[in-house]
């Protein structure tokens, strides 16, 4: 604080969670109070406002496309957002490759989410979050076609679905069991190739086995919705509260 910073000065901070962001603002307030108390400051609060922490990356924010491994020489059909404009195309793309902890799923049925509509229309949200080209879709059901050598507790041909938020597993929130607050979250069908294709590859930790035939493909293909606030609306529409049968509703809301 020895001299007045240039007007465009910005201090870059690595902010892993809200706690550190809060501590930064507390530190800044302490400096202001101490400087004003001893009368040794030449900086007004407006000047110090030039020192701002970098905004935490929002969930699924895509600054640039990331290339995911594929099996060159193979081909499958996929719905692709080919360029930053309205619409989608049905294209031939290589099948996704898998790592030692990944599962390759042959998609049998998929559902359309409101997110997919945003991407199709290419509105402001989509233009900000989705790199192109991108295979979209994140609500689906299928069977395991292949899996990495480190995957345990699953088998080829097993019917599964997948959770669409891939977290890093290394940040403070992930290690503390708060993966839903991971600042490095990557969205399936938004930031990495999605499920509107014949095959999709995701980490085994995001794969969920389905009991057969209790959960039908129609229900399993949009299970992602039951983990959101709109799940309550689904329960109302299905009149489950008026039913004589017992139901278990599992989800964030």
Q: How much of the chain exceeds pLDDT 90, in percent?
A: 54
Q: Which of 9-18, 88-97, 238-247 has the highest mean pLDDT?
A: 88-97
Helix ranges, the chain (H) = 18-38, 45-48, 114-121, 124-129, 172-175, 217-220, 230-237
In tens, the pLDDT along 99-119 reads 999 999 999 999 999 999 999
Cα gap 151→155, rounded to integer Å: 9
Mean pLDDT of 42-46: 43
What is the DSSP secondary-structure string of 75-138? Answer: EEEEEEE-SSSS--EEEEEEEEP--TTEEEEEEEEEE--HHHHHHHHT-HHHHHH--SSEE---
Alpha-carbon distances, residue 34 vs 38, 41, 48, 178, 239 (angstroms):
6, 9, 14, 36, 61
The owner of tokens 């640039």 is 64
- For residue 155 the two structure tokens come to 């088998």
Beta-bridged to residue 91, according to DSSP, are 78
How many CB atoms lie under 10 A from the CB of residue 89? 11
Q: For residues 201 and 102, is the Cβ–Cβ distance under 8 A?
A: yes
The reported pLDDT for the residue numbered 65 is 62
The reported pLDDT for the residue numbered 144 is 97
What are the φ and ψ backbone dihedral angles of 129, each rounded to 5 degrees? -110, -20
Is the pLDDT at 24 greater than 60, yes or no? Answer: no
Q: Of 82 and 6, which is predicted with more confidence?
A: 82
- For residue 111 the two structure tokens come to 């559902």
How many CB atoms lie under 10 A from the CB of residue 18? 12
In tens, the pLDDT along 194-248 reads 999 999 999 999 999 998 777 888 888 887 776 654 555 555 555 555 555 666 6
Reported as a pLDDT band with limits 50, 70 and 90, residue 11 is very low
How many residues make up the chain in this entry?
Answer: 253
3-state secondary structure of 152: coil
* Structure letter (DSSP) for residue 5: P
CA quadruple 106, 126, 186, 173: dihedral sign: negative
Cα gap 12→55, rounded to integer Å: 9
- For residue 49 the two structure tokens come to 């406002």
The reported pLDDT for the residue numbered 224 is 75
The reported pLDDT for the residue numbered 105 is 97
Cα gap 137→110, rounded to integer Å: 8
Q: What is the pLDDT of the chain when averaged over all its residues?
A: 77
Enumerate the active-site residues.
Answer: 115, 118
N-terminal to C-terminal alpha carbon distance within the chain: 47
Task: Give the angle 146-137-222 at the CA atoms, nearest 5°.
Answer: 90
In tens, the pLDDT along 143-167 reads 999 999 999 999 999 999 999 999 9
Is the pLDDT at 63 greater than 50, yes or no? Answer: no
The reported pLDDT for the residue numbered 214 is 78
């Amino acid at each position: 604080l020895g001299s007045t910073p240039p007007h465009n000065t910005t201090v870059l901070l690595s902010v892993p969670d809200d706690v550190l962001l809060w501590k930064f603002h507390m530190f800044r307030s302490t400096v202001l109070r101490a400087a004003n108390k001893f009368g040794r400051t030449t900086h007004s609060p407006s000047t110090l406002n030039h020192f701002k922490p970098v905004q935490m990356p929002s969930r699924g924010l895509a600054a640039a496309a990331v290339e995911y491994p594929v099996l060159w020489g193979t081909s499958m059909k996929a719905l692709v957002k080919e360029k930053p404009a309205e619409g989608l195309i049905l294209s031939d793309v290589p099948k996704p490759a898998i790592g030692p902890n990944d599962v390759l799923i042959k998609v049998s049925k998929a559902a359309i989410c409101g997110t997919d509509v945003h991407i199709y229309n290419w509105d402001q949200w989509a233009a900000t979050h989705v790199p192109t080209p991108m295979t979209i879709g994140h609500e689906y059901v299928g069977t395991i076609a292949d899996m990495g050598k480190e995957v345990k507790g699953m088998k080829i041909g097993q019917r599964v679905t997948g959770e669409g938020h891939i977290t890093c597993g290394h940040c403070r929130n992930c290690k503390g069991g708060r993966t839903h607050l991971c600042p490095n979250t990557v969205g399936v069908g938004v930031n990495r190739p999605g499920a509107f294709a014949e095959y999709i590859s995701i980490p085994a930790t995001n794969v969920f086995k389905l009991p057969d035939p209790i959960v039908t493909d129609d229900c399993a293909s949009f299970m992602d919705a039951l983990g959101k606030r709109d799940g309550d609306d689904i329960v109302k529409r299905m009149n489950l509260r008026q039913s004589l049968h017992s139901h278990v509703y599992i989800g964030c809301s």
